[in-house]
Amino acid sequence: MADTRAPERRGDPNVAVLLTWFLPGAGHLYLGRVGIGLLGLLVVEGLYALGWWLSGGRTFEFLDPELRGPLATLLTPEAGNLGAMVFQLRVAGFGALEPVPFPDWVAIGSLLSALSGVLNVFLCAWAHLDARSRRVGGAGPHPIVALSAAWLFPGLGHWLQGRRLRAGLVCAVLLGLFAAGTWLAAGTNLSRERHFYYWSGQFLLGAPALLSELVSGRPPVTGEIPGVDVGLLYACMAGLLNVLAMLDVYGVGERRWLEEPAVAASEAVA
Amino acid sequence: MSLVQHVLYFLVLSFAIVVMSAFYSEPDDGPALHSIPRRYVVFVAACGLVAGIMLLLERLFASVS
């Protein structure tokens, strides 16, 4: 007779996600996974703290004054680490009214706090998965490893799962779109200070966007750029479309992870 | 920028959107690849329809000439 019992759970997945969203690692602590919880707290909040220190807590001053408001930062990667973002808004807000020069390391600091938000989203997904199952094995890489890889480099998550054709096509389409956008915008898309919200979308493309920004040194605008609007749209869409790839990778990874080993192994071979 | 350039830029971005949505919707590579031409035509036609309706509404209700 088939076993129809519900899979063994550690706790409520929604509670685990909400706890992690507000305080990194809290969801895992709630589930009794103290080591992962403390490590997550240390890494995610450590990145945010380092980013705050380097930027002087002034990341949100990149936002144009007319766009500032209580919900304005919810469309930033930092929103993935909601507790830290709300704390920063309460303590530092959008800065002083009079213009003050930014610290030298503000761009790197801003990047680290954004990275903290993305990592905490992965931690939320991990807490949700851990709450639903005590399984610690399955075919292919851990779903969170595959998800992180899919963010880090378009197509890498699919590649780790053995879906090579899809990996190549996702990589070609998204990197091509990002490269075309960067060319049309003459590299001016590679600056959070200049294009706050477009940068947030572009950040979801992972390493290609980050490395391009670091290598380019954020080129200044020296004249009219005819294709800048299209370029910004292309680069931002490349990052947003990578979210579809990440969801695809996570969905398949989770299904394989939670399947019975024999079924998952036969699927991986096929 | 000319209208032709705008349309070409739109077609390029549409292709990326359609490819990624096809891979998201279809778990297997074969059906996903085969569905791309049909999805592309439907996407472009639907966007053209929306653009046409917007131009018509502008002509009827928002013209300042």
pLDDT of residue A270: 47
Please name the residue ranges forming H helices in chain B: 3-25, 29-57
pLDDT of residue A136: 59
Least confident stretch, A14-28, A184-198, A217-231, A250-264: A250-264
How large is the average pLDDT for residues A144-173? 96
pLDDT of residue A217: 80
Cα A120 to the center of its chain, rounded Å: 8
Q: Does A244 touch chain B (CB under 8 A)?
A: yes
- Nearest-Cα distance to chain A for B16, in Å, is 6
How large is the average pLDDT for residues A9-24? 94
DSSP string computed for A204-247: TT-HHHHHHHHHHT-PPP-S--TTHHHHHHHHHHHHHHHHHHHH
Q: What is the pLDDT of chain A when averaged over all its residues?
A: 89
Asked if A40 contacts A28 with a C-beta cutoff of 8 angstroms, the reply is yes
Write out the residue range of the structural domain in which residue B10 sits.
Answer: 3-62
B23 with A174: Cβ contact below 8 A: no
Residues of B in contact with A234 (CB under 8 A): 12-13
pLDDT of residue A1: 43
pLDDT of residue A4: 46
More confident residue, A13 or A95: A13
Least confident stretch, A230-239, A255-264, B11-20: A255-264
| Per-residue confidence band for A8, with pLDDT thresholds at 50, 70 and 90 | low
On the question of pLDDT at A98 being above 90, the answer is no
Percent of chain A past pLDDT 70, that is, above it, reads: 91
Residues 192-231 of A with CB under 8 A from B: 226-227, 230
How large is the average pLDDT for residues A167-193? 95
**Closest-CA residue of chain B to A166:** B29
This prediction has a pTM of: 0.89
Query: For residue A40, what are the CA distances in angstroms to A25, A252, B38?
Result: 5, 24, 44
How large is the average pLDDT for residues B50-60? 93
How large is the average pLDDT for residues A265-269? 52
pLDDT digits (tens, 9 = 90+) for A99-122: 788 888 999 999 999 999 999 999
Contacts of B13 (CB under 8 A, 6+ apart): A177, A233, A234, A237
Q: Please tell me the total count of domains within chain B.
A: 1
Rounded-to-integer distance, Cα A202 and Cα A114, Å: 12
Torsion of CA A51, A57, A59, A60, to 10 degrees: 140
B23 with A169: Cβ contact below 8 A: yes
On the question of pLDDT at B16 being above 80, the answer is yes
Out of B13, B15, B20, name the one closest to residue A245 (CB): B20
